[in-house]
Amino acid sequence: MITCPLCDNDDDKALVEKLRKNDIAAFNTIYLRYAETLYDYSLHILMDEDECADAVQDIFVWLWENRRRLNITHLKSYLLAAVKYKLTRLIISSKRRNEILKKVHAPEEQVMEENMELKELKAAIQDFVATLPPQAKKIFQMSRELYLSNREIGIELGLSEKTVRNQLTITLRKLRTYLGRLSFWSVIL
C-alpha cells in the first residue's frame, strides 16, 4: 500500500479536519488509505472493474467537492456507506440489474454483511448523537437506549411530556436526514 508521508500518522478525525481546511495531503492520505478497500468491496458486488473504478472515483470527487461541509467521525464507515449508496443507485439503473443481484449474496454472506451494516449504522447514529445539544442528546439517549417513555423522561428532566415528544420528533427528523445523506438507512427508522 502506498502512503502519504505528510499525513500518514493522522487518525481519521484529524484527516477530516485537515480536509475541511483544503489540505490536499490529507485528501491524498484518505484516498490512499481507503480507495482500495472501497474498490474491492465494489468489485465484489458489481463484478465490473470499470464501473467499480468509476464509482470509487465519484465518491472521492464528491468528498473533495464537499470537504468544507463534512462532519464525519467514523470515516471508513462513512465511505463504505457512501459507496453502498452509489452501488445501489448503479444497480437500480443498470441493465444488468438481475444478473448482478443473483450473484451478489449467498445466504451466509448476507448475514455477515447485515451484521457489518448494523455496526456501521450504530456508528453513524453515535456520530449524529455526538453532535446534538446536551438536552436533545440526553432525551434521545433516555428514549432510545434506556427505553424510557416520554412521560418518564419528562419527570426525570423536569420537562413536560409534550416538550419531550417535540424534542424527539425534531431529533428523529434530523437523524433521518443525516442518515439519508449517508445511505438508505432512513427507510429503516
Q: Residue 111: CB partners within 8 Å, gap ≥ 6?
A: none
Distance in angstroms (rounded) separating the CA atoms of residues 20 and 86? 22
Model pTM score: 0.50
CA-CA-CA-CA torsion for 46, 92, 112, 184, nearest 10 degrees? 130
Of the candidates 80, 107, 105, 91, the one whose C-alpha atom is nearest the C-alpha of residue 46 is: 91
Q: What is the pLDDT of residue 67?
A: 92
Judge contact between 127 and 74, C-beta under 8 A: yes
Q: Which residue has the higher pLDDT, 135 or 102?
A: 135
Range 18-30 average pLDDT: 95
Instruction: Give the confidence band of 166 by pLDDT, cuts at 50, 70, 90.
Output: very high
- Domains in the chain, CATH or no CATH each: 1-104 (1.10.1740.10), 106-189 (1.10.10.10)
| pLDDT surpassing 80 at residue 125 | yes
pLDDT of residue 88: 82
How confident is residue 182, by pLDDT bands cut at 50, 70 and 90? Answer: low
